[in-house]
Chain A
Amino acid sequence: MKKFLTTVTILAAMAAVATAGVGIQWQTGYGGYDHTVSPPLTGGTGAILDSYSVIWQLIYAGADNINNPIPNAPGDPLPVAGGANGDYVQGDDVVWAQRTIALGGGTAAEDGSVWDNWMYRVGTAGDTTYVDLSWNTAGFVYQRVFEGTPTWSSYYYDSPLFAFDETWTDSLPPEGFNTEPAQGAGFQASSTMPPAVPEPATMGLLGLGALVMAFRRRRA
């Protein structure tokens, strides 16, 4: 009986320690620049939040382990907010966490964290760690930053993929994941949403306008 109890105690303790999961602290390590800034991205002007609000996402790359890009050819649909996998994502990618930060910086209501105009964390408020202790599948995440609310031809940034540790437990420090592609410089929104293509009715109106102009020119 005593041996049985000891075994049960040890097994219970092992189970408590061996819980799998993910814990990712995602943030910038240098800062973000708006899309008009010329590299190198190390200067003291051009902070992304000086010109735009941002939507900043931590995205699971899905079972295919790739970043499914936002299509951006003319005629491609504009991704929309509110999809089953989260705002604006494609394929099997899933938004795990999101922050919305106003122009100039401030508090992201989603996790209570506070950010300056470079998207650099200031203060101790909030919790910047994404935790899911029930997750047990290896995979990748990436970060996406939209300049303003996504619309036709607006800019966004996708970070490189980050392989997370699915055996993480909360007795371990969270994994740190920076937005930037490399150390020593910032990041910049360089990808674009699809361009707007005029609809047939609009094209018709434009054509009509051109005809009127041509007719008036001939009469003159």
Chain B
Amino acid sequence: MKKTLWIAIAGALAASVIAASAQEVLSANAVGYIKRTVPANGGLEVISYALNPMPYSGVTWFTNTSVASEMPNYSWAYFWNDGTQRWVGSQKSGKGAWDGVGMAKVVLPGEMFFLKTPPGAADQDVTITGEVPDDPTLERAVIGSDNNAALGNPYPVDVAFTNLGVAQTAANYSWAYFWNPTTGRWIGTQKSGKGAWDGVGLAKTVLAGEGFFLKDLNPGSVWTNTKPYTWP
């Protein structure tokens, strides 16, 4: 009896080892959630999609994002056009489909865009959902030459504005603008002739999933972000 028991235990152990080998862990993905609130009744909020939507095809199609699904019909999304220096709008129709630019829009890492609620709608909570990016670096083009670039932290962390590389390398006298969803207006901050951002910029924490404008006097450049966490 004792021998049979030992054989059974040994068998179970061997089976569990085989099972564990078969389920070898090849990668570790972390899923993240960032909540943003778009104000009621036509209110606007800036978004930076700092997670990779699931399933992830290597690019972030706007229509594949959780926020595009969550916004109600008749909502708007606006994407910045570096060339024309204007926002280009897309509306979610009464039948639930995004039109125009939204249909084929790829949201870049570190790109800011707007979401807007329909007239008469309540505050709309949206959750940026997806895998936490594990790229060691993420790059974002900055148009520069005194043009506005719509930027956001491509990694899902809160960060002091002045700790962002793009704020540090911006030319003196450049401007940055942060969105105030309550007033529906931009709040400006300028980098002085001595290289320091003024009070607004100094005090600003760019939240995960938030964006901002940078009007850099430098010529066009590429902002390279280094992953600020060790896992994943």
Contacts and interface: CB of A to CB of B under 8 A. Distances in A.
Contacts of B78: 173-174
Contact of B103 (A28, A124, A128): A124
B70 interface: no
Contact of B186 (A27, A171, A178): A171
Contacts of B73: 183
> A23, A170, A183 — which one has the most chain B CB atoms within 10 A of its CB?
A183
Interface residues of A, number: 32
Contact of A122 (B95, B99, B173, B188): B99
Contact of A124 (B76, B86, B93, B100): B100
Interface in B109-152: 114, 116, 118-120, 148
A185 B94 contact: yes
A127 B89 CA distance: 9
Contacts of A35: none
Nearest to A165: B184
A173 B94 contact: no
Interface string A1-34: 0000000010001000100000101011111000
B94 A183 contact: yes
Contact of B116 (A28, A122, A176, A183): A176
B153 interface: no
B89 A17 contact: no
A178 B74 contact: yes
Nearest to B79: A173
Query: Do most interface residues of chain A lie in helix, strand or loop, or is the interface mixed?
Result: loop
Interface in B143-201: 148, 173, 175, 177, 184, 186, 188, 190
A82 interface: no
Nearest to A174: B89
Interface in A184-213: 184-186
A185 B120 CA distance: 16
A40 interface: no
B85 interface: yes
Given A171-B148, A171-B177, A173-B116, A30 B89 contact: no
A55 B24 CA distance: 64
A90 interface: no
A180 B173 CA distance: 46
B116 A17 contact: no
Interface in A100-121: 113, 120-121
B10 interface: no
B100 A128 contact: yes
B94 A176 contact: no
Interface of A: 9, 13, 17, 23, 25, 27-31, 113, 120-124, 127-129, 131, 170-174, 176, 178, 180, 183-186
Given A13-B190, A17-B188, 17 more contacts: A9-B173, A23-B86, A27-B91, A30-B93, A30-B94, A124-B101, A129-B88, A170-B86, A170-B87, A173-B44, A173-B87, A173-B89, A174-B78, A174-B86, A174-B87, A183-B94, A183-B120
